[in-house]
Structure 1
Amino acid sequence: MDKDILSFFTFSDPNVRYVVIGAILLTATSAVVGTFTFLKKKALVGDAVAHSVLPGVCLSFLVWGEKNPLILIPGAFATGWLSLVIIDYVRANSKIKEDTAIGLTLSVFFGIGIFLLTIIQKSGNAAQSGLDAFLFGQAASLIGQDLIVFSITAFLLLITVFFLFKELTILAFDADFAATIGIPIRAIELVLTTLTVLAVVIGIQAVGVVLMAAMLITPAAAARFWTENVHVMVILAAIFGAVSGFAGAFISYTAPSMPTGPWIVVVVSAIAFFSFFFAPGKGILHRLLVSRRIRHSMTDENILKTFYNLGERDGNFEESRSLEDLLALRSFEKEELLSGLKRLSRDGFIVRSPSGYAFTTDGMNKGKRTVKLHRLWELYLTQYLRIAPDHVHDDADTIEHILTPELEARLEKLLDYPKVDPHQSEIPY
């Protein structure tokens, strides 16, 4: 195993060089083009093209009788491009929605491709051996000639994206705005369609028609979780694609009977799942933590508001309050209340005494502000939105937690620094 690993990383075996470089080229360039397809919300288009290139591959082989990529790629490109034309035509000239048109086109073209592949396999042509690898990919069969073709195609894809980056970005986010500023929408869409088809065509030999859609969209989906910048997103998608290509080739080389294409997809899927859960800002774990922090903050402010309301009722803000006092005025879950009191005590907003819990100065100020915002918002709803006073409490109970100091100042000025709320309760300043 050590020898195999050393041979892989030193590229001493020509076949290793072809497979690794080819896999990286295919996955990285597919990811770059797939970024714009993903941003344009056309993820299913890649799947349609991937399944539609199979009949083109088979027709090219039937006509020329050999598996030369220079012969197969034009045929694959033609049927892939034709599938997108048909999808657009059906969507524009019928009541069928785009996803339905994609599903119909995908299945029809793929069915024709399987039919032609069956004919080829029964034809007795010795050159057809390995042609079925286009279904599931066979990156290990890449040779120097394939690498030259892929390198040229990858260069064309990348150089086109580089020079049309601005136009592709604007089109992906706002086609109407692009048309307003004079960008030729149809021409750029035509270019993006062509790039997508080319990316799929050069990738099918590595991962196959079944898995190619994953290579087109998954790196872009993963990259989207890490950044808001399109430039960074494209670079990250290319890196994720290249890493998956390299890792897939490595696993396939060091583990017997492990196909390269499916492992490439497994690796990029693992990267995507890691991004979905752990990316800062947008990852599921981060969102859960933020949601938990917001819930805790709202609970804490409600507890302090309850302390303040009890102080108003009794005319004594310094008196200690028991759990029963707090639960009698506002409905809390007991565990939630105890957890909130523990946090507030830790943060210095309340102190625990033998008879219960009492405000600190900071806690009183925070509770006072929460009450103030609640009552200001109730007054705003009744005066400006004409909502009945007995219908504003629940809304104010939510909004009070998200009003910023800037909005607070605007509310005070708009309402002319009112003294009481709609229920004639004093608004504390």
Structure 2
Amino acid sequence: MEMIVMLFSDYTLRSIALGAAALGIVSGILGCFAVLRRQALLGDAISHAALPGIVLAFMLTGSRAPLTLALGAAIAGWLGALAVLTIVRMSRIKEDSAFGIVLSVFFALGMVLLTMLQRSGQGGQAGLNTYLFGQAAALITSDVITITVLGTIVLVLLALFWKEFQLLSFDPEYAASLGYPVRMLDVLLTSLIVMAIVIGLQLVGVVLMSAMLVAPAVAARQWTNRLSTMALLAGSFGAVAGVVGAVISATGRGLSTGPVIVVCISFVVLVSLLVAPGRGLLWEWLHHQVNQRRLASERHK
């Protein structure tokens, strides 16, 4: 009860919880498409690719405004995703290898730029190194509004192209035979995933953002076979994990919000893997035990 009162009365905690909930909803829903298309590493590649964009945006403008840094991160993340798609389409390199190449190169470039910025005497003022693991405690109302507005735009576009994205995820060859612009849809869906990742960098950081994209979708997949239900569950899991993680980090001493949120959503994944009806490991074990006893009883007859 005390935590609930603090959640509504404490300005900082309320801002962090609202921002984390919005991020959980957006990243959870978009993550469903990444998981179903077997592109779980895409989130990792894009989040790491966003780092040089954040640093360059600050170096060019001298501004730490969330929208400015988000724009830089979005451009770099989109270029990283485009690089992956181009490498896969124009070479014999597989997707997982392309993800690894882009992730490493862009992240290394970001670290080099960040080191140069720090040596120039601006690094401490910029505070850009907080984007590596996130700094949820610095969230203010304007940041929450930015996350909410950008997240709403992403979800509206997703709703408008829901049927096309659904077909693209399950049967891209059939979509192409129907005359759908598969490449354009692929780029648009990837761009929405880029935006979902960008809005969460301040909260959970470059290193952990991929977990916010993949984990809610993985958990939701255990409970249903319908994409619409999976998206609703993933968004709900992400939101709950965000709020619970924010409250736990606020009541604990020295606990960073981003990692705590990731631990919370990881716990949801673990529970789903164990007890989800039909797919849970516990149910499979019980089913196996029932079959073993049935076979044993038939042998004794």
Normalization by structure 1: what TM-score?
A: 0.68
Structure 2 residue 274 is the aligned partner of structure 1 residue 277: yes
**2:249 equivalent to 1:240:** no
Q: Judge conservation of contact 2:23–2:199 (CA < 8 Å) in 1.
A: yes
* Alignment partners' CA distance in 1, 2:75 and 2:33: 21
Match of 1:117 in 2: 114
Amino acid at match of 2:75: A
2:28 matched to 1:31? yes
**Structure 1 residue 231, shift from structure 2 partner:** 1.1
Deviation at 1:302, TM superposition (A): 3.6
Contact 2:114/2:123, CA 8 A, preserved across alignment? no
Report which of the two structures shows the higher radius of gyration computed on alpha carbons. Answer: 1
Q: Is contact 2:168-2:175 (8 Å) kept?
A: yes
Matched residue, 1:150: 147
Question: What is the rounded CA distance, in whole Å, between the counterparts of 1:31 and 1:42 in structure 2?
Answer: 14
Matching of residue 190 in structure 1 with residue 187 in structure 2 = yes
Alpha carbons of 1:126 and 1:272: their partners in 2 closer, same or farther (altered >3 Å)? closer
Distance 2:186 2:31 in 1: 14
Select 1:228's aligned residue among 206, 225, 229. 225
Secondary structure at 1:281 match in 2: coil
1:265 to 2:262 alignment = yes
Q: Deviations 1:82-102 (Å, cap 9, x if unpaired)? A: 111111222222222211111
Note the aligned Cα RMSD (angstroms).
1.6
Shift of 1:181: 2.8
The partner residue of 2:6 within 5, 8, 21 is: 8
Q: 2:54 aligns with which of 53, 57, 64?
A: 57
Partner of 1:84: 81
User: CA separation in 2, counterparts of 1:108 and 1:8?
Assistant: 43
- Measure, in 2, the Cα distance between the counterparts of 1:300 and 1:12: 62
Map of 1:256 onto structure 2: 253
Is contact 1:278–1:286 with CA below 8 Å preserved after alignment?
yes
Paired with 1:295 and 1:177, the residues of 2 have a C-alpha distance of 43
Count of residue pairs the alignment pairs up: 301
* Mean Cα deviation higher: 172-181 or 247-256: 172-181
Q: Deviations over 1:102-124 (max 9, x none)?
A: 11110110011111111122222
Amino acid in the other structure paired with 2:6: F
Q: Conserved in 2, the CA contact under 8 Å of 1:53 and 1:201?
A: yes
Measure the CA separation in 2 of the matches of 1:20 and 1:130.
22
Task: State how far apart, in whole Å, the 2-side matches of 1:6 and 1:196 are.
Answer: 32
Please report how far the alpha carbon of residue 7 of structure 1 lies from its aligned counterpart in structure 2 after TM superposition: 4.8
Residue 208 (structure 1) aligns with: 205
Distance 2:274 2:123 in 1: 49
Aligned-partner residue type, residue 297 of structure 1? R
| Residue of structure 2 equivalent to 1:421 | none
Q: Deviations over 1:242-277 (max 9, x none)?
A: 011001110111112111000000000000000001
**TM-score (norm: length of structure 2):** 0.95
Match status 1:74 vs 2:68: no
Letter in 1 for 2:150: T
Which residue in 2 is equivalent to 1:326? none
Q: Conserved in 2, the CA contact under 8 Å of 1:66 and 1:127?
A: no
The answer (yes or no) to whether the contact 2:64–2:126 under 8 Å persists in 1 is: no
Q: Retained in 1: the 8 A contact 2:49–2:76?
A: yes
1:159 — aligned with what?
156
- Distance in 2 (alpha carbons) for counterparts of 1:182 and 1:299: 56
Measure the CA separation in 2 of the matches of 1:6 and 1:179.
50
Letter paired with 1:82? L
Task: Indicate conservation of the 8 Å contact 2:278/2:284, yes or no.
Answer: yes
Range moving further from structure 2, 57-66 or 129-138: 129-138
Q: Compared with structure 1, are the counterparts of its residues 277 and 69 closer, same or farther at alpha carbon in structure 2 (3 Å cutoff)?
A: same
1:135-160 CA distance string (max 9 Å, x none):
00111111122122111101111111
Quickly say closer, same or farther: Cα 1:6–1:229, change in 2 above 3 A.
Answer: closer
1:6 deviation in Å?
A: 5.6
Q: Matches of residues 393-408 of structure 1 in structure 2 within 5 Å?
A: none
Range 37-46 or range 81-90, more displaced:
81-90
Match of 2:129 in 1: 132
Q: Distance in 1 between matches of 2:214 and 2:4?
A: 33
Runs of at least 5 residues in structure 2 that lack an aligned partner in the other structure = none
Question: What's 1:180 paired with?
Answer: 177
Judge conservation of contact 1:65–1:127 (CA < 8 Å) in 2. Answer: no
Instruction: Give 1:166 deviation, angstroms.
Output: 1.6
How big is the shift at 1:298?
2.8
- C-alpha distance in 1 between matches for 2:197 and 2:45: 10
Give the Cα separation in 2 of the matches to 1:281 and 1:240.
19
Deviation at 1:132, TM superposition (A): 0.9
Relative distance call for 1:286 and 1:201 in structure 2 (3 A) is same
- Contact 2:15–2:139 (8 Å) recurs in 1: yes
Residue 196 of structure 2 aligns with an amino acid whose one-letter code is A
Structure 1: which amino acid aligns with 2:225? E
